[in-house]
Amino acid sequence: MTETDLLDRLAAHPPYLAPDYRSTRTRAPSRPPVVIPPTLSELTGPRFGHDSVRADDADLTRQHEGEPLGERIIVGGRVVDEDDRPVSDTLIEIWQANAAGRYHHAVDQHPAPLDPNFTGAGRCVTDAEGRYSFTTVKPGAYPWRNHPNAWRPAHIHLSLFGPSFVSRLITQFYFPGDPLLPLDPIFNAVPEPARERLVAALDLAVTKPDWALGYRFDIVLRGRGRTPFEEPSE
């Protein structure tokens, strides 16, 4: 890694310890990391799930017998490197709360309704131009116990797999104009100049008329415009 790469990373990634984000106080490492060089097999495989992705896996509104409740949206964009070159054949997974702000998970006991027609998970593989697209519903805000009366803004989690298990990147993106963003310790743990890179843009080119509003969220893997990720990565 060059010095420029390191500076770009530090300017985009949130720190391990962000005191206002309460759980980082106990999970942030207190000692310098130990570098363990990856082996050739870790860098070249095995691949995770690329070949089993179906076309309808990217439409979270058609995974059950009925349609889910909430505002239908389309989220799309490109995965690119620092020179805007497309990164193809990248497995992308998303997971999210439903329109009421509840995850389809046993640990989530937020007293909001579950939607029997919405599981909140999807996946796709980027095409030759690095493009991806998901159809889903806009997630709701939900409370969390970080501090008194804390609420997470609407967001969608996103994971990218490269050529192997160890080449995984995780982030989350938000929606424009959300009044909860200035109050969210996770969003504000990201260095200020990079925060807007986590906010999807309303895009009429992605919007499907009379069907769903479209949002664009491009993912930049390296360089000055890199997308902030939850774990530093090569």
DSSP annotation of 113: -
Residues sharing a CB contact under 8 Å with residue 95, sequence separation 6 or more, in sequence order? 103, 120, 121, 156, 157
Q: Which residues are catalytic?
A: 103, 142, 152, 155, 157
Q: How far apart are CA 47 and CA 44, in angstroms?
A: 8
Return the structure tokens found at 200.
Answer: 């999807």
Q: How far apart are CA 111 and CA 101, in angstroms?
A: 10
Classified as helix, coil or strand, 226 is coil
Is the backbone peptide bond immediately before 153 cis, with ω within 30 degrees of 0? no
Sign of CA dihedral 227, 229, 232, 233: negative
